[in-house]
Amino acid sequence: MEDETISIPTYMLTTIDNPFHPLNEYDNWLRFDEDHGYYTNEYLARVMGTSEYFTEIEEQLAVNQAIDDIIRLDLENIYKKVLIEE
């Protein structure tokens, strides 16, 4: 039997005005984010449901769901998601 690998998209949350990529330019991205008072990582952590028993896939699904929830409830259009990989 052939080994099947489950692949899900990996997203990161950022703000529409942050000129830096949250993965490739993380230090600059984080500095901009915190200097402007967004604290996006902390916000995402508050919204995301997690467990120490989550698999890596379950963890990423929880991140993706939290990002989608934040964007859906973002009435000021501050946030956007960035596709990292599929």
Q: Where are the domains of the chain?
A: 10-85
Find out whether 33 and 79 touch, Cβ atoms under 8 Å. no
What is the DSSP secondary structure assignment for residue 2, as one 8-state letter? Answer: P
pLDDT tens-digit profile of 47-80?
A: 998 888 999 889 999 999 999 999 999 999 999 9
How high is the pLDDT of residue 29? 98
Average confidence score pLDDT of the chain: 91
The answer to whether the Cα torsion of 48, 52, 54, 59 is positive or negative is positive
Provide the CA 83 distance to its chain's centre, in angstroms.
9
Q: Which amino acid is at 6?
A: I
How high is the pLDDT of residue 24? 94
pLDDT tens-digit profile of 25-34?
A: 999 999 999 9
